[in-house]
Structure 1
Amino acid sequence: MKQLALRIAGFGFRREATVGSLGQALDQLVEHYGAIDKLAAARSMLPLVEKLGQLRHIEVIAVSDAELTKVTTLTHSTQSMQARGTGSVAEAVALLAAGHNAKLVGSRIISADRQATAALALAEGNR
Structure 2
Amino acid sequence: MKVAGLGFKSDVTVASLREALATAGGPEGLAAFATVSDKADAEALKELARECGIPIKAVPADRLAGIDTPTQSKRVAEKFGTGSVAEAAALAAAGPRARLIATRVVSRDRTATAAIAEGDGA
Short-chain TM bin: 0.7 to 0.9
| Equivalent residue for 1:43, pick from 26, 37, 40 | 37
Matched, 1:21 2:16: yes
1:90 pairs with one of 86, 89, 112: 86
Look up the match of 2:60. Answer: 64
Q: Which is worse superposed, 94-103 or 41-50? A: 41-50
| Identity level (%) | 37
Of Structure 1 and Structure 2, which has the larger fraction of its residues in helix? Answer: 1
Cα shift at 1:29: 2.0
Partner of residue 25, structure 2: 30
Which aligned segments of 4 or more residues in structure 1 are displaced greater than 6 angstroms? none
Higher Cα Rg, which structure: 1
Matched position secondary structure for 1:58: coil
Structure-1 separation of matches of 2:81 and 2:12: 20
Contact 1:30-1:36 within 8 A present in 2 as well? no
User: Which whole-Å deviations, capped at 9, do the CAs of 1:70-102 have from their partners, x for residues lacking one?
Assistant: 211111111111222210000000000001100
Q: Is the 8 A contact 1:11 1:116 kept in 2?
A: yes
Q: Count residues with an aligned counterpart.
A: 119
Aligned-partner SS, 1:22: helix
TM superposition score normalised by structure 1: 0.84
> Counterparts in 2 of 1:92-107, with a 5 A limit?
92-107=88-103
Q: Please give the TM-score of this superposition, normalised by the length of structure 2.
A: 0.87
**Counterpart in the other structure of 1:10:** 5
Aligned to 2:50: 54
Is the contact made by 2:32 and 2:56 (CA closer than 8 Å) also made in structure 1?
yes
